[in-house]
Structure 1
Amino acid sequence: MPVSLRRLNAVNAGQLEDLAEVLHDCVHGGASVSFMLPFSLDEARAFWRGVAEGVARGERALVVAEVDGRLRGTVQLVLAQPPNQPHRADLAKMLVHRQARRLGLGALLLAEAERLARAEGKTLLVLDTASPEAERLYTRGGWVPAGVVPGYALLPQGGLCDTRYFYKALA
């Protein structure tokens, strides 16, 4: 199955639809990524329109993974940071459609985000996750757990979940 990664510097209508589908699928699959059920494709589109605006302003880097020519995963780097943190970026919204899981997309997206962060002059990345599966991916990738905040967020169907913070110093 051919997999390709690329950075989007703008988001066209087709990509917006695919990104919305990935986000919609992840939320409906139980991912705690800021949204609650019920969650519509219109809400997912609105989120990605906002991301696209941040990409256009250079505040965010958006990487997508395509499988057989179809967008199935994504990750963002929040590049715009306060004046005292120009060396840092936040890794955000690492999402892989449930139909494309177990293909290694998460590891590929993570490696590409790290490569891109280095190219942008970043030396420190941080992220948070409520997913034990994602925690294993980050740990395998050399990320360092920094602590857990109990009851930090709600799961999409309701109920509190803990969030673990990770960081990675880039060489």
Structure 2
Amino acid sequence: MVLGSEVKVEQVTSVAEHLEVLSDLLVQVVEDGASIGFLPPMSRSDALDYWTNVLNPGVILLVARIDNQLVGSVQIHLCTKQNGTHRAEIAKLMTHPDYRRKGIGRTLMQKAEERAKQEGRSLLVLDTREGDPSNYLYASIGFTQAGRIPCYARSANGELDATILYYKSTV
């Protein structure tokens, strides 16, 4: 945790007022090597396009702030299929590189789980690149590894990396 500062998490229902800072966050984490669907170098216009179109009726966006500065985000994708209304996918957990290892990702995940429960979701799923530090986070907060898919995502160096699938029951 950041000394003297508290992580505050809130839901964002419109990205308009946060567009610039969310775009900066996305560019920073991609440039720092995060595997969240984009490859460096990431253009600012691509980041702006992404955030402009991210929210829809099945997506909940949570952001983390320290001293009123946006330092992280996570998305909850609610399954809308009739046979899946009990589950949600956790997506694009991001912490600004200058604020890593301070409990922000953990706090965002805890709040995402709480929010998913409010939506009646009893099963959470996610995936992350094999070997990334996020694997330790997910295991430490009770997610269970369900499997590994080789050659799932291309990395900046052109290699194909495996992804690890995780799940957590919230009942």
TM-score range, shorter chain: over 0.9
Aligned equivalent of 1:10: 14
- 2:112 corresponds to which residue? 113
Which stretches of structure 1, 4 residues or more, deviate above 6 A after TM superposition?
Answer: none
Q: Distance in 2 between matches of 1:145 and 1:80?
A: 20
Gap regions ≥5 residues in structure 2: none
Q: Choose from 51, 67, 74 the match for 1:48.
A: 51
- Larger RCO of the pair (alpha carbons < 8 Å, separation 6+): 1
Matched-pair contact (CA < 8 Å) for 1:3–1:67: yes
Q: Unaligned 5+ residue runs, structure 1?
A: none
Instruction: Give, in angstroms, the shift of residue 103 of structure 1.
Output: 1.1
TM-score by length of 1: 0.93
How many residue pairs end up in the alignment?
166
- Which AA in structure 1 matches 2:101? R
Task: Output the TM-score relative to the length of structure 2.
Answer: 0.93
Q: CA RMSD in A?
A: 1.2
Is 2:16–2:52's contact at 8 Å kept on the other side of the alignment? Answer: no
Structure 1: distance between partners of 2:61 and 2:135: 21
Give the aligned partner of residue 34 of structure 1.
37
Within 5 Å, which residues of 2 pair with 1:146-161? 146-161=146-161
Distance 1:71 1:156 in 2: 26
